[in-house]
Structure 1
């Protein structure tokens, strides 16, 4: 009997061991594999925003999808693409995305790693359906916005970013409608997208302006516009959002008014905000007469892909250089025309941020502008013009 009990105990032990092993194989190990797999995945979220457009009440684009790849040289049909698909496709008025407003396009889980290429794919205009269009200011007409055939495979955006395991990356497509829409001179318009890829931050410069109509507010460094917006048409409130840590010149321009500049506005980190005025004491823009500087910018040799741009700049005391207005040339005539204030700009220093900021008129620079002509792949040219009492003209021919 002892032998039988011993044998029975051994059998029970063996059965128990088999049961525990089966449980381990079917439940514990798969759970471990799942956790390991999840730990190797991060999330990418993509949103879109816009800078103000010149001379339009609406700029509409219809987005089909966003494509992501780890190689900057991957072709459209290469393996390895991941996609954020908008279903249904989404028609977005870019001009509704100002003062920090964002349109979320979606998010996708991605394998942890280094990514270098995004592509924004737009829908085509088909028949009477206008997927991409503009409404010029002063009209109610929606006009087709022609897109290059190359955009059918997606607008290629080279931007490097890292997806870490278990973490989220938020990217912002900053669509510059003002520079992206070009006139063809015959009542039609073309789309040449100018888009920057930015991390989403909470930082920015805010304030209030009076009057608020036809006003553009931009944050600039060394006379180059980093980001811009338009104030609320009723309250005059504005917020130039998503600024990297740096020191900025806040430039306010408006039709029929002198330019106003607040220099040395600091953004210390990704959550810093700075106010240059308040609702009770807004920046009041001085009235000004206007004159124009116009002409043509020719490219020699001509280019089928690059578009020239005219920019009016001013240099204020303490070597502060600002951009007042810029405009791509007409595609057919290569012409430009910039309407500019003749009155002197007003300048104030942010200092320690105490409000209100004192503004003083910079009389020596009244009507004095540097007109700069640029095109990618061509040498920049500039000439000084004074429009204090009359319009001026300036033609350019740019060479490589």
Structure 2
């Protein structure tokens, strides 16, 4: 996206997450040319929370992917005061500006996201469970050296470079057995110079649906359809570099919808539906799948659906850090699928053979993975994973 694009988003979004650094280009007083780094943060949907607050104290960058916290070469983007941000306000391209920095021109490899600490009764980082009270969010590693993100990006001389951090709140917040919560950051970075977006509309009755951009059964970006049914998935790396995307639409009591092979072009929007012809999905009964994963595995449990040999993530959740318990709600009806075309509206077809058929996958923090088939046409299914 160009510089004006980010500025317009920042002006229209109160308390979104744009970790921004806008500074002057030119020269820093030495012979080395400089450019400006502008960092932004956005969010994917959260599961079971009304608010997820984090307080950003600084963002650090380094040209060395292996640099440790004490090594030379770090430059920090430090807001005038730490910015407490509700990650759940960062859907559909909403961003929040945190401050400027100038950097020597060149390629950078590592980003560190540093969060402020909770102090006494002052909650820098916290969660508000749906229908519940605000509770502290433990962030031991992120408050010290910062959460490490490896993503190459280039700062050109006398030029603004945009980098967007996608903080996936849904997969980052983990419950504990005593009712408290801890942060296990899941953050990716996207250079905006090679990105575009996908947008569309779902029917008004499905406002609030979760919409994912996926590749190979893994969520790349996520958002929530607003009250008009509109959704925006941004930023997404251009298809000429990254390949096309599958858009997955999930809503409680509604069948899943999938649009395959959606292309993304730099600085452009790819629409898959319009306000006049939104994507409307049929109702579906829901089935609960629950169980446990070995607590020490610190596992993420994902429900995947296979259509035409391709996998799509429909739901996911972190297992409780102490008990290992997890719980997912899945549509039992047949998913509807379409393939992208620039000629709208798209035509969807149900896949009856896939109705309620999922593969449950538990991904441990160590990298180990286990999976098991699940039939969600049953009222409730229990699956345990032992690592």
Q: Displacement, 1:156?
A: 2.1
Match of 1:3 in 2: none
C-alpha separation in 1, matches of 2:190 and 2:328: 29
SS of residue paired to 1:86: coil
C-alpha separation in 2, matches of 1:149 and 1:174: 18
Instruction: Give me the TM-score of the superposition, normalised by structure 1.
Output: 0.84
- Which of 322, 344, 347 is the equivalent residue of 1:332? 322
C-alpha separation in 2, matches of 1:313 and 1:134: 27
Look at both structures and tell me which one has the larger radius of gyration over its CA atoms: 1
Instruction: Map 1:16-95; keep pairs closer than 5 Å.
Output: 37=30, 40-95=33-88
Instruction: Give me the TM-score of the superposition, normalised by structure 2.
Output: 0.87
Change (3 A) 1:311 1:35: closer
Structure 1 gap ranges (5+)? 1-32
Q: Displacement, 1:138?
A: 2.4
Q: Displacement, 1:327?
A: 0.7
1:293–1:392 CA contact under 8 A, matched in 2: yes
Change (3 A) 1:128 1:278: same
SS of residue paired to 1:286: coil
1:40–1:165 CA contact under 8 A, matched in 2: yes
2:117–2:143 CA contact under 8 A, matched in 1: no
C-alpha separation in 2, matches of 1:266 and 1:237: 19
CA root-mean-square deviation: 2.0
Cα deviation digits, residues 328-384 of structure 1 (max 9, x gap): 10111011111111111111222x321211111111111111111111334312111
- Which of 173, 178, 183 is the equivalent residue of 2:170? 178
Change (3 A) 1:34 1:241: closer
SS of residue paired to 2:143: helix
Match of 1:168 in 2: 160
SS of residue paired to 2:386: strand
Larger helix share, 1 or 2:
1
SS of residue paired to 2:65: coil
C-alpha separation in 1, matches of 2:245 and 2:34: 37
- Which of 293, 309, 313 is the equivalent residue of 2:304? 313
SS of residue paired to 2:170: helix
Aligned residue-pair number: 356
Match of 1:27 in 2: none
Instruction: Map 1:1-400; keep pairs closer than 5 Å.
Output: 37=30, 40-139=33-132, 141-149=133-141, 151-200=143-192, 203-210=196-203, 211-232=205-226, 234-244=227-237, 245=239, 246-267=243-264, 269-298=265-294, 302=296, 307-316=298-307, 318-350=308-340, 352-398=341-387
